[in-house]
Amino acid sequence: MKIKRKIVKIDEMLCNGCGQCVSPCAEGAITLENGKAKVLREELCDGAGFCLGVCPTGALTLEERETENFDEEAVKEHKASLVKEGLAPHIMSCHWCGNSEMIQPLLPVKTNGDSTWVCVKCLPQLIHG
Ligand code: SF4
């Protein structure tokens, strides 16, 4: 079912294919195709925009438009199939200690102009130094 909502927009002219936006997407909705980032299926993108801050070229924005409704069940099935195939770019690790999100919950953090992901174990060090 189509509704009007926010969804990620990728400017192909600006995208350099670095792939940095693939793993921050918790839904595994972004893939690389022919050297360019692409939203795999519109119902997989929740429009939260966690990918925006990691793009070095500003190719990612959010736009509000008519599109497929976000589908949590489709996301679950998609993620399960990625894990089954050994392709799980949405499973992330803490950029400080390397712990997988399967071990410690991760939080998105902006620091020194960069977007990063830090696990709850490392977050106090980041806050208190
Ligand atoms: S992070 Fe930006 S430049 Fe890199 S692949 Fe994604 S959209 Fe393209």
The per-residue pLDDT string of the chain (129 residues; one tens digit each, 9 = 90 and over) reads: 899 999 999 999 999 999 889 888 888 899 999 999 999 999 999 999 988 988 999 999 999 999 999 999 999 898 888 877 767 766 777 888 888 777 888 898 888 877 788 999 999 998 898
Residue ranges around ligand 1 (CB below 6 Å): 10, 15-21, 37, 54-55, 57, 59-60
- State the Cα–Cα distance between residues 120 and 123, nearest whole angstrom: 5
Dihedral over alpha carbons 76, 81, 84, 85 (to 10 degrees): -150
Candidates 55, 62, 114, 115: which one to mutate for ligand 1, based on the most atoms within 8 Å of Cβ?
Answer: 55
User: What distance in angstroms lies between residue 129's CA and the mean position of ligand 1's atoms?
Assistant: 31
Position 90 scores a pLDDT of 63
pTM exceeds 0.85: no
Task: Determine contact, residues 54/20, Cβ cutoff 8 Å.
Answer: yes
Q: What is the span of the domain harbouring residue 19?
A: 2-90
Are residues 11 and 62 located together in one domain of the fold? yes
- State the Cα–Cα distance between residues 8 and 125, nearest whole angstrom: 32
Are residues 28 and 73 located together in one domain of the fold? yes
Are residues 52 and 114 located together in one domain of the fold? no
User: What distance in angstroms lies between residue 57's CA and the mean position of ligand 1's atoms?
Assistant: 7
What CATH code is carried by the domain that includes residue 18? Answer: 3.30.70.20
Are residues 37 and 85 located together in one domain of the fold? yes
> Structurally, how many domains does the chain consist of?
2
Are residues 8 and 38 located together in one domain of the fold? yes
Are residues 40 and 76 located together in one domain of the fold? yes
Are residues 114 and 96 located together in one domain of the fold? yes
